[in-house]
């Protein structure tokens, strides 16, 4: 019998390939399709034949004739019906001819065929004979004799010798050249274009003539604040002038004016901003131009309070207060407070009904999580196009089953820069005084640090200093639910004594994430995400020897609603186990082997994470037949692995886990409410198992030691020994590596292999 995992995965992939392969599936941007009445002919299909310069989906978006929606074509009664207009379809042929001639195909011919395929139903086909395109023989630019660095100015403007004679690209090149001139100090710059064609030789010559006008610098900068919608003006015009990022004497640059406008919008203190050049100062031919800045003031203070629920956060709440003109200097102050784990975390653990059983069993979620922070930001700094931000905060946060980070005091300074090539960048420096706590099993199994004293050394409150760099490119058409475009994000982080960190907290971390979105058909979107990362820690000298230690909060994890949905949060990759009991195999009166049987004991899973992670997600999002604007379905296949490079027995990249699934999303004011069900056919990975003796049973003057109880382990345990007049000396175990031989029982039933994920927002 075939594996259900493979069957579901193949079905999802096959559906995705089918949708991409059918050229008839395309969204209609701007197409005003003819409406229907009972006597009209319905357009069942729209086909293009012979097209090479354009994809069929591109041509479909350029014409008016539109086929009925996919739901209509399949069900005959759901979805929208579009019909044939004989005049419009002939005009579409002319539209296609013009489109091809504009890009150099002067001999293009377009044929039209309308075929009856059923009663009152037709198929429309356009047959395109593109012909041989006309090529550009030469491109010349005149009028730049007095312009500094003219060669750099015309470099890469678009249209070049040998290119197809594309009139659209020719006009775009003219506009690019004019914009570059205006960005180099020529506010009156204009560029004229002309061309000559030789139809017999299929060649064209193109000439651009630049009229630069005088080169200018900024003179007077006049600022006016419109306070008609508020009781009085709160923003000082002089302060607004000081944060513009432009000043008297600067070379006129159109891009600098746009940046100043964007910077004022970033303050959130203004409803509308307009920055323009006084036409009178341009008319007299003076080398100084006057800039007019008009800003409409908005509300300068804002308060927001929200509450919610998460399957890993239980109850949670957040409050924010913002002052967009702090101290009257156009500084922005944001005060933020957050609480989570309400219901399982002390002191609000009385409301346990708010929490899932999954969270209440997590020993790291037994204390309230909080965040209190104050953030100061400035729209411009020292007349450069940067956005500096400083945050001072205190927080406690836990990562499910992995670690608890307690930061008494932290500070984060960052600078956002609008980079060239549409790659905005953020440079940051972060300093924290805090501690990170994990279960004793984690330290023993991952770092082989099993003595309580050495574990406490790793848990001590220390100084962590990190420098970071993040670059992002985002062309997605929607932040909450994109359907086209892509998002690329690269992050680098470094911590060492050279930047102020404690010697025991050193690492280098690289994480990359790229997502692609593509419209497949009416209401369908194909989403693909690839994510990979690695972290390198430092070696520490401990009593148990040299250990490579990576700060727990910097380790890589996967599994959960936003990565591999067939696994619970953080549980992809190697795991450690804490069984509820064990059996003793007596060797002598005082020594024995402690071994747990996974068939007779339950266990608590401790995800170990790793220093490498790789995740891939493929998801098809479909609008539902009923309430299509509200409900969306999804088919997905997730794949990934978390592994350690050097530690044997704690995972490897040899086997990538693949988990298919289905999901539903319901649109809301706070984003799509998402339920995903992932199918996981895999048994839990084998790992080390440890038993933690109860400290209250033993003399506190002796250090407790975790006891390896993995099946088949050969590490002798010296039993607890009574003390005269006091508690017993705790048991000790011989030194050695705890074998990864504990494997929990496989989930036998189909329902037992399903993982349910509840969250808000798309997975990526």
pLDDT tens digit sequence for 192-220: 999 999 988 999 999 999 999 899 999 99
First to last CA, the chain: 34
In angstroms, what CA-CA distances link 236 with 232, 291, 325, 334?
A: 11, 18, 10, 20
Q: What pLDDT, on a 0 to 100 scale, did the predictor assign at position 649?
A: 45
In angstroms, what CA-CA distances link 720 with 253, 578, 706?
A: 80, 20, 13
DSSP letter assigned to residue 669: T
Confidence of residue 11 (pLDDT cuts 50, 70, 90): very low
d(CA 676, CA 18): 23
* Vertex 669 angle, CA 663 and 670, to 5°: 70
pLDDT greater than 60 at residue 187: yes
Q: Please compute the mean of the pLDDT values over residues 489-505 and round it to a whole number.
A: 92
Higher pLDDT among residues 78 and 201, named by residue: 201
- pLDDT tens figures, 697-714: 777 777 777 889 999 999
Q: What pLDDT, on a 0 to 100 scale, did the predictor assign at position 230?
A: 66
Query: Residue 80 in 3-state DSSP?
Result: coil
pLDDT greater than 50 at residue 32: no
Q: What pLDDT, on a 0 to 100 scale, did the predictor assign at position 98?
A: 94
Selection from 641, 481, 665 nearest residue 564 by Cα: 641
Higher pLDDT among residues 293 and 156, named by residue: 293
pLDDT greater than 60 at residue 421: no
Q: Please compute the mean of the pLDDT values over residues 265-288 and round it to a whole number.
A: 85
d(CA 141, CA 180): 14
pLDDT greater than 70 at residue 335: yes
Q: Please compute the mean of the pLDDT values over residues 719-737 and round it to a whole number.
A: 78
Confidence of residue 154 (pLDDT cuts 50, 70, 90): confident
d(CA 262, CA 273): 9
pLDDT greater than 80 at residue 444: no
3-state SS string over 252-263?
CCHHHHHHHHHH
Selection from 178, 185, 187 nearest residue 154 by Cα: 178
d(CA 454, CA 459): 9
**What residue ranges do the domains of the chain occupy?**
31-129, 136-211, 217-297, 300-377
Selection from 399, 435, 346 nearest residue 606 by Cα: 399
d(CA 760, CA 555): 25
Strand boundaries in 609-656, DSSP class E:
612-623, 631-643
In angstroms, what CA-CA distances link 437 with 208, 344, 371, 653?
A: 67, 18, 17, 27
Higher pLDDT among residues 646 and 83, named by residue: 83
Residue 137 class from Cβ within 10 Å (0-12 exposed, 13-18 middle, 19+ buried)?
middle
Q: Please compute the mean of the pLDDT values over residues 15-19 and round it to a whole number.
A: 39
Confidence of residue 375 (pLDDT cuts 50, 70, 90): very high
d(CA 586, CA 590): 8
Cβ-contact 176, 154 below 8 angstroms? no
Backbone φ and ψ for 239, nearest 5 degrees, come out as -70, -40
Question: What superfamily does domain 136-211 belong to in CATH?
Answer: membrane protein fhac (3.10.20.310)
Question: What residues have CB less than 8 Å from 461, skipping those under 6 apart?
Answer: 406, 408, 433, 434, 435
- pLDDT tens figures, 562-578: 999 999 888 898 888 88
Q: Which helix (H) or strand (E) holds 123?
A: strand 121-129
Q: How many Cβ atoms from other residues are within 10 Å of residue 367's Cβ?
A: 16
pLDDT greater than 90 at residue 411: yes
Question: In whole angstroms, what separates CA 275 from the centre of its chain?
Answer: 33
**Structure tokens belonging to residue 592:** 């024995």
**Structure tokens belonging to residue 171:** 């006009």
Cβ-contact 54, 85 below 8 angstroms? no
For residue 433, the cross-strand partners are: 409, 463
d(CA 759, CA 668): 12
For the ranges 171-180, 205-214, 410-419, the lowest mean pLDDT is seen at 410-419
Say which CATH topology domain 31-129 has.
Ubiquitin-like (UB roll) (3.10.20)
Question: What residues have CB less than 8 Å from 400, skipping those under 6 apart?
Answer: 312, 359, 362, 364, 365, 569, 570
User: What average pLDDT does the chain have?
Assistant: 84
- pLDDT tens figures, 572-615: 988 888 888 889 999 888 899 999 988 877 778 888 888 899 99
Asked if the domains 31-129 and 136-211 are classified in one and the same CATH topology, the answer is yes
Classify domain 217-297 by CATH architecture.
Answer: Roll (3.10)
Q: What pLDDT, on a 0 to 100 scale, did the predictor assign at position 312?
A: 77
pTM of this structure = 0.72
Higher pLDDT among residues 668 and 386, named by residue: 668
pLDDT greater than 60 at residue 21: no
Q: Please compute the mean of the pLDDT values over residues 675-696 and round it to a whole number.
A: 87
Q: What pLDDT, on a 0 to 100 scale, did the predictor assign at position 448?
A: 67
d(CA 531, CA 761): 18
Backbone φ and ψ for 227, nearest 5 degrees, come out as -115, 25
């Amino acid at each position: 019998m075939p594996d259900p995992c493979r069957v579901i995965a193949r079905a999802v992939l096959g559906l995705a390939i089918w949708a991409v392969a059918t050229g008839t599936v395309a969204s209609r941007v701007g197409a005003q399709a003819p409406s229907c009445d009972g006597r009209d002919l319905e357009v069942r299909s729209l086909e293009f034949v012979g097209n090479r310069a354009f994809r069929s989906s591109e041509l479909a978006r350029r014409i008016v004739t539109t086929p009925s929606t996919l739901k209509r074509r399949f069900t005959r009664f759901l979805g929208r019906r579009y019909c044939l207009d004989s005049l419009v379809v002939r005009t579409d042929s002319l539209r296609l001819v013009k489109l091809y001639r504009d890009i150099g195909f002067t001999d293009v011919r377009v044929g039209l065929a309308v075929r009856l395929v059923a009663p009152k139903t037709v198929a429309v086909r356009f047959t395109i004979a593109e012909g041989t395109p006309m090529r550009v023989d030469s491109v010349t630019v005149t009028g730049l004799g007095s312009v500094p660095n003219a060669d750099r100015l015309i470099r890469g403007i678009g249209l070049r010798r040998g290119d197809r004679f594309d009139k659209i690209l020719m006009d775009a090149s003219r506009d690019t050249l004019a914009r570059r001139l205006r960005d180099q100090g020529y506010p009156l710059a204009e560029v004229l274009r002309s061309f000559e064609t030789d139809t017999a030789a299929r060649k064209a010559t193109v000439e651009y003539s630049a009229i630069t006008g005088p080169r200018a610098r900024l003179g007077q900068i006049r600022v006016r604040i419109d306070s008609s919608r508020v009781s009085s003006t709160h923003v000082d015009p002089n302060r607004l002038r000081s944060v513009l990022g432009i000043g008297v004497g600067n070379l006129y640059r159109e891009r600098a004016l746009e940046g100043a406008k964007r910077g004022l919008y970033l303050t959130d203190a203004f409803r509308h901003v307009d920055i323009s050049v006084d036409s009178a100062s341009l008319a007299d031919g003076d080398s100084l131009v006057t800039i007019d800045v008009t800003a409409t003031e908005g509300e300068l203070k804002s308060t927001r309070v929200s509450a919610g629920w998460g399957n890993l956060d239980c109850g949670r709440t957040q409050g924010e207060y913002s002052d967009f003109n702090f101290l009257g200097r156009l500084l922005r102050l944001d005060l933020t407070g957050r609480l989570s784990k309400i219901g399982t975390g002390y002191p609000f653990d009385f409301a346990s009904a708010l929490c899932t059983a999954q969270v209440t069993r997590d020993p790291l979620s037994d204390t309230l999580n909080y965040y209190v922070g104050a953030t100061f930001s400035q729209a411009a700094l020292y007349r450069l196009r940067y956005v500096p931000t400083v945050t001072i905060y205190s927080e406690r946060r836990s990562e499910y089953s992995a670690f608890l980070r307690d930061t008494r005091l932290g500070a984060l300074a960052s600078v956002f820069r609008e980079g060239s090539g549409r790659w905005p960048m953020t440079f940051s420096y972060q300093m924290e005084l805090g501690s990170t706590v994990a279960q004793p099993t984690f330290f023993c199994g991952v770092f082989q640090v099993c003595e309580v004293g050495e574990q406490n050394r790793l848990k001590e409150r220390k100084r962590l200093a990190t420098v970071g760099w993040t670059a992002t490119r985002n062309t997605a058409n929607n932040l909450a639910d994109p359907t086209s475009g892509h998002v690329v994000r690269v992050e680098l982080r470094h911590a060492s004594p050279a930047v102020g960190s404690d010697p025991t907290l050193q690492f280098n971390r690289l994480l990359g994430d790229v997502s692609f979105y593509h419209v497949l058909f009416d209401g369908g979107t194909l989403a693909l995400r690839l994510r990979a990362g690695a972290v390198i820690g430092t070696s520490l000298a401990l009593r148990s020897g040299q250990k490579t230690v990576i700060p727990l909060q910097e380790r890589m994890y996967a599994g959960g609603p936003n990565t591999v949905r067939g696994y619970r949060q953080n549980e992809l990759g190697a795991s450690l186990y804490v069984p509820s009991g064990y059996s003793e195999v007596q060797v002598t009166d005082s020594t024995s082997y402690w071994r747990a049987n996974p068939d007779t004991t339950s266990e608590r899973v401790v995800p170990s994470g790793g220093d490498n992670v790789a995740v891939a997600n493929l998801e098809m999002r479909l609008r539902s037949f009923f309430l299509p604007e509200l409900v969306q379905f999804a088919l997905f296949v997730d794949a990934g692995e978390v592994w350690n490079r050097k530690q044997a027995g704690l995972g490897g990249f040899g086997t990538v886990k693949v988990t298919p699934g289905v999901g539903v999303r319901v649109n809301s004011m706070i984003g799509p409410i998402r339920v995903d069900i992932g199918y996981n056919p895999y048994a839990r990975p084998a790992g080390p198992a440890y038993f933690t003796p109860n400290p209250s049973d033993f003399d506190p003057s002796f250090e407790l030691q975790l006891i390896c109880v993995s099946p088949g382990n050969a590490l002798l345990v010296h039993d607890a020994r009574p003390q005269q007049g006091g508690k017993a000396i705790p048991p000790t175990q011989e030194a050695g590596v705890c074998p990864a031989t504990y494997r929990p029982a496989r989930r036998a039933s189909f329902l037992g292999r399903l993982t349910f994920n509840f969250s808000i927002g798309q997975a990526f």
